[in-house]
Chain A
């Protein structure tokens, strides 16, 4: 099993450009999440999904959109990138609430720089 994978690993954008980050998991997890990590602030939740076709806002959703058309994929989009979106982005997935451990499995991260 590959676990959680993220594409791309690195990206540099100019202000105003758009891009999509792809997250894929092969563990048949119901829940998927996008976080951003900034220095000194830990990880903060951007958007999440509790199942195929569903999405919800997290703590810092502004400037981002997401889609979960397939259970195994969770896409994060930036329509018009801003320097404030320079960050490391992590995708994670977990089983549904029916299980007891609530463990999230993380991808390797995407380092995004917006100039």
Chain B
């Protein structure tokens, strides 16, 4: 079974600085997707960025980018120019073949200091 591990329960960063959230996963599949979801205090799960495993190029969405290391099974999220609105729980998630079930990590609570 696939597993996803987020080893940083909490992180904090100064506004306008850069922060990197870590995620590692374990799988025997060759074709899969990786995601970062943001959960603000409203509880709504918001997709931040996704990466297809067969693509070598790291995904980027405005201030959010990933460092995907397939051989190391690592998928970190970098947030540049941090903003107060980035404060939230961030979940790394894996989706493999078949029914697209998501396997989530434990989450990292990100605090932005003004």
Contact = CB atoms under 8 A, between A and B. Distances in A.
A104 B43 contact: no
Interface in B10-62: 33, 35, 42-45, 47, 50, 52
A31 B100 contact: yes
Interface of B: 4, 6, 9, 33, 35, 42-45, 47, 50, 52, 91, 95, 98-107
A42 B100 contact: no
B104 A43 contact: yes
A42 B104 contact: yes
Interface in A1-56: 31, 33, 35, 40-45, 48, 50, 56
A76 B101 CA distance: 17
Given A108-B44, A109-B43, A42 B105 contact: yes
A72 B45 CA distance: 20
29 contacts: A31-B100, A33-B101, A33-B102, A35-B102, A40-B9, A41-B106, A42-B4, A42-B91, A42-B104, A42-B106, A43-B45, A43-B102, A43-B104, A45-B102, A48-B101, A50-B99, A88-B43, A94-B100, A97-B98, A102-B50, A102-B95, A102-B100, A103-B35, A103-B50, A104-B95, A104-B100, A108-B42, A108-B43, A109-B43
Nearest to A56: B99
Nearest to B4: A42
A102 B93 CA distance: 12
Contacts of B6: 42
A106 B33 CA distance: 17
Contacts of B52: 100
Nearest to A97: B100
A48 B106 contact: no
Interface string A47-83: 0101000001010000000000000000000000000
A71 B98 CA distance: 19
Contact of B91 (A43, A50, A56, A88): A43
A65 to B, nearest CB: 18
